[in-house]
Amino acid sequence: MNISRLDLIADLQDRVNAVIGNYLAEKPFALVDFPNIRNVGDSAIWLGEMAYFSRLGYAPTYVSEMSDYSATALRGAVPDGPIFIHGGGNFGDIWEAHQDFRERIIEEWPDRQIIQLPQSIHYGSMARVEKTARVIGRHKNFVLLVRDQESLSFAKKHFDCDVYLCPDMALCIGPIRPNAARFPILAMLRADKEKSGDYNLSAYPGLPVEDWITESARSIQMVKLRNRLTSLGKDTQSARLAKFNSLAQTRFTRGVTQISRGRAIVTDRLHVHIVSLLLGRPHATLDNSYGKIGRFMAAFTGDNGLSYRTKSFDDAMRWAMDEGQRLADQNAVDGE
């Protein structure tokens, strides 16, 4: 049974709070692994994390990327509060730099509560699973939040820590009003190592096919310059948080503008699915290389009236041309 888009988003935000609210107290806390990368989905997660904390009246007092992390600075800004690690889909050995950083944080702070914000888990190497298990096993206050049942089962089997199912943090951004559409269908397809395969795009001449990992170097340089000018004379940590939020918002705005151009979307990116839901855009979903989208939808968003799960690009296009356009027309009438 479908529930309304707005009710679904509100329910998932409540489910986020039911899990994470237990770990927030009136003390400073850290949030590490800011995603200073082109992928809009990672920026959506960061902004959702910020929206969630802000809604409760909190903000991290220490933030960092992997590259500028400092244990000394973290200890000075957060003497005894928890450390949150940015969520996403990099828990495992596909994106090893993030896993290495995560395990470094766990090892460096054995007496500090550490909360891994919602992740999807995927490993190709059992040796790497065992290494992660040893790191987690030595830490007695690590909490792992995951975005699907498969990750939950995997973590409970292999890792000695508290593990909970939690929706993706990008949902905490809440509903977004889309811009006017330009194309009947927009295909948003992965161009990285999580790509599941090649699609027969030649059968659809004129179909816009894009990804959202391309950005204007000039636009990012302008954001960084503006941040430097506005942070002169300000506290380093608050200035850094403002810089990170500005970068994430610039990238997220680009992604929202990009998706809005399609009346219906075909995608194999999890956060195109999530942002399409926030926008109220009908969309057909394929999966990434290890089933991340299908797993998340099965746990949280699959029955929402705007999404169609399929394993075939041709089937996704058929749905987008027919049901997707009908839903777009209906949303226009309803004022979505």
What are the pLDDT digits (tens) for 85-136?
A: 999 999 999 999 999 999 999 999 999 999 999 999 999 999 999 999 999 9
Q: For residue 242, with 0-12 CB atoms within 10 Å meaning exposed, 13-18 middle and 19 or more buried, which class applies?
A: middle
Fold (topology level) of 5-172: Rossmann fold (3.40.50)
Q: Domains of the chain: which residue ranges? A: 5-172, 175-334
Q: Are 31 and 39 in contact (CB under 8 A)?
A: no
Q: H or E element: which one contains 225?
A: helix 217-230
Tell me: pLDDT of 336 over 80: no
pTM across the whole model: 0.93
Q: Among all chains, which residue has been given the structure tokens 């927030």?
A: 24
**Which has the higher per-residue pLDDT, 64 or 226?**
64
What are the pLDDT digits (tens) for 249-283?
A: 999 999 999 999 999 999 999 999 999 999 999 99
Kindly state the tokens that stand for 251: 């990238």
Q: Which residues contact 205 (CB under 8 A, 6 or more apart)?
A: none
**Amino acid letter, residue 195:** K
**Amino acid letter, residue 11:** D
Tell me: pLDDT of 317 over 60: yes
Rg (CA), the chain: 20
Q: For residue 198, with 0-12 CB atoms within 10 Å meaning exposed, 13-18 middle and 19 or more buried, which class applies?
A: exposed
Kindly state the tokens that stand for 212: 């959202």
**How sure is the predictor about 299, in pLDDT bands with cuts at 50, 70 and 90?**
very high
Q: What is the pLDDT of residue 266?
A: 97
Q: What is the Cα–Cα distance from 44 to 253, expressed in whole angstroms?
A: 9
3-state SS string for 36-90 = CCCCHHHHHHHHHHHHHHHHCCCCCCEEECCCCCCHHHHHHHCCCCCEEECCEEE
Q: SS3 of 117, please?
A: strand
Pick from 241, 293, 268, 277: nearest CA to 46 = 241
